[in-house]
Structure 1
């Protein structure tokens, strides 16, 4: 039988009809009468009807094994929908690739217990690949990813933090037909498979990397022996250097995955926010703890460079996957899409050009998860592509 996979997308406004339509299309594209397991992402306008939609999808796919979450936008390999009613469904039937769903509560805000629960549920599965879909408001996603790495070592993971309507609090995780919040839903892929993973950065370096020569907690006082703010301003054109507020939402720092590294390798950095500027000390306050002698990049969120980086990533992943890819996932930051490029559909246009009608499902998330340098990491402003190959 090998692996049969298909993706369906519906933008119908009537929730139950949209769910059935997306599931039917997924099965049709898979060429299968039923699925062994599925993945579902649903946008926030359908929020009152999530449970009914999951029940309809289960019935249509013919399986109880569903994992997914809420989203501000969903996508397939050829189309993306932001801020409107939409549901995307991946259906897989395979005697070679197993998909085992899992769920853990994050209700106490401490990720260690959830990590141990996930490890318990996937104990008997092969290494394969995990897909993680956590609620980012229940526990810090970076801490959760780290704890899962301790409890389930040597298991690579991709995924994204769930999203939803920015005007309404909370996100939702899907497990079968169950809808929860303050939780982690996920999928363990195992069996006769391999995977090819790529990360594309939405923020590109402003000049060469520097080294933190004085810092305290999340405050960067000096880089390369000079006030950090002075060095940052020297990287910017005159008008922008004098009014950094105009770059809010565009200017960030890039940190290495391991602060003990001598330098940051091309494309291998974690984007973290520039929280505040301390004019008095010439310092920068960032959304991460830094350490002295750690390398650092100043990075700028900018659409043209992001497109070029995306094209290069797709080429790398395509070479790694060869002709054996059967389906895939694309986890796109909510700060990409139309807010980055000024128009929708850019990422999926490039993906479609690279991989044709390969079934790919994904959503716009609040943070992205992927392995880098031997450890699963939390990214922001990135797109993470994972192709599942036989």
Structure 2
């Protein structure tokens, strides 16, 4: 796998933006005439959703060597160090090393009829799909790595996805790329496609780590053996009878929780929960949606199991910036390797896909484009495209308020 060719443009007229993108792609491809580019990503904003079908038709007709397309329509997208309209990228990846899937042609549960085995997969999903967390987990189980990445594709135009595949042997004919709605789609990758991935959180903990000791569905009744609402008010220093102050404070907070694990430290009455919780990849962030003063309970947007770790957290600009820089440094370190002469990590990156939460971009990082500018600072000047999602996918879970960064590693021998 060689470095991706990629392009991005923004213009009120979609046809003008497309021409700018095609000019950039053609210039890069002309410099590498011997390479093939069968797999293409394309993300665009819903500002031009009404023209998406025609845009895709023209894009595929202009690039007939691209046999397979994946992507979607989102509220906002990113490329390079900019957040805006249109961002295609092309991979020089042999068709035997990936498979496009959708609801009509799902990813096989095991080795496919042509011998393909999936190690991981990029997933685009409709947020209205029933039992979506279970479907994401089931899809992850169809991969050797039990790892998928991506996000929920949602916009003012609905959930529009792209997942078109045409096998080799038909190069020279432009595929008819159509928009899909509903379910899951994406592209799976074989074990020899090098991938390094990280999840970055956009929140910081504001209360100590507690343990859910009683819960019924979405209602958490007890933390550390005490009424949950009492513990929350105590941790936040809120007066127990000032409902206005309580609601005002909780309105800006989220629940960070981690699945039960025997090795996690237990918070007890003797040790009042002052256990630091690093908001890493095992923490899932969900909305706090209500209170039950009569039962002294709190209500969360997702059912929490007894034994789960619990903390309240808030979105925080500096925490988000620091964590994005951290995962960039970790990926660069992993690619540099060890030894007296470590490799150039930027030179080893073929391309990157970044999926961020709709609630993170722009103002959350301090200014327009700030998140993608920080991503370039963290990762280097590499081909990077992606979109803002209504929920992020990593491992086998559905996240919120996170960024999922996936880097494709260039083949050492330069082969496709």
1:346 pairs, out of 324, 347, 370, with 370
Deviations 1:141-188 (A, max 9, x none): 3122022134445442110110212xx5x2101123111211322012
TM-score by length of 2: 0.81
1:288 paired residue number: 302
**Post-superposition offset of 1:317:** 1.7
Inter-CA distance 236–339: structure 2 relative to 1 (3 Å threshold):
farther
Residues 1:96 and 1:192: Cα distance change in structure 2 (over 3 Å): farther
1:367 aligns with 2:391: yes
Whole-Å separation in 1 of the counterparts to 2:251 and 2:67: 41
Q: Give the distance between the partners of 1:368 and 1:383, measured in 2 at CA.
A: 7
Alpha-carbon separation, structure 1, partners of 2:288 and 2:182: 27
1:91 aligns with 90
Tell me the equivalent position of 2:398: 378
TM-score normalized by the length of structure 1: 0.86
1:229 maps to 2:237? no
2:393 match: secondary structure: strand
| 1:88 to partner: Cα distance | 0.8
Q: CA deviation at 1:347?
A: 1.7
**Gapped runs of 5+ residues in structure 2?**
165-176, 265-276, 337-344, 412-416
Whichever of the two has the greater Rg, that structure is 2
| Pairing 1:188-199 to 2, within 5 Å after superposition | 188-190=188-190, 192-199=192-199
1:275 Cα offset (Å): 1.4
Q: Deviations over 1:324-367 (max 9, x none)?
A: 22111100011101252342222211111123321011000011
1:309 aligns with 2:297: no
Q: 2:260·2:306 contact (CA, 8 Å) conserved in 1?
A: no
Aligned partner of 2:351 in structure 1 is 327
**Uncovered stretches (5+) of structure 1, i.e. residues with no partner:** 106-113
Q: Is contact 2:217-2:303 (8 Å) kept?
A: yes
- Describe the shift of the 1:380–1:28 C-alpha distance in structure 2 as closer, same or farther (beyond 3 A): farther
Report the counterpart of residue 71 of structure 1 in structure 2.
Answer: 74
The answer to whether the Cα contact below 8 Å between 1:262 and 1:295 also exists between their aligned partners in 2 is: no
Q: Would the alpha carbon gap of residues 236 and 214 (structure 1) be closer, same or farther in structure 2, given more than 3 Å must change?
A: same
Alpha-carbon offset, residue 120 of structure 1: 5.8
1:143 is the counterpart of 2:134: yes
Counterparts in 2 of 1:23-102, with a 5 A limit?
23-29=22-28, 31-32=31-32, 35-62=37-64, 63-81=66-84, 86-95=85-94, 98-102=97-101
Sort the Cα spacing of 1:193 and 1:61 in 2 relative to 1 into closer, same or farther, 3 A: same
Distance 1:76 1:269, change over 3 A: same
- After superposition, residues 163-242 of structure 1 pair within 5 angstroms as 163-165=154-156, 170-176=158-164, 177-190=177-190, 192-236=192-236, 238=238
Structure 1 residue 236: Cα displacement: 2.9
Relative distance call for 1:164 and 1:261 in structure 2 (3 A) is farther
In 2, Cα distance between equivalents of 1:122 and 1:334: 36
In structure 2, what is the equivalent of residue 130 of structure 1?
Answer: 121
Contact 2:97 2:193 in 1 (8 A): no
Instruction: State how many pairs are aligned.
Output: 367
Task: Note the 1:237-252 alignment, pairs <5 A.
Answer: 238=238, 243-247=245-249, 250-252=252-254
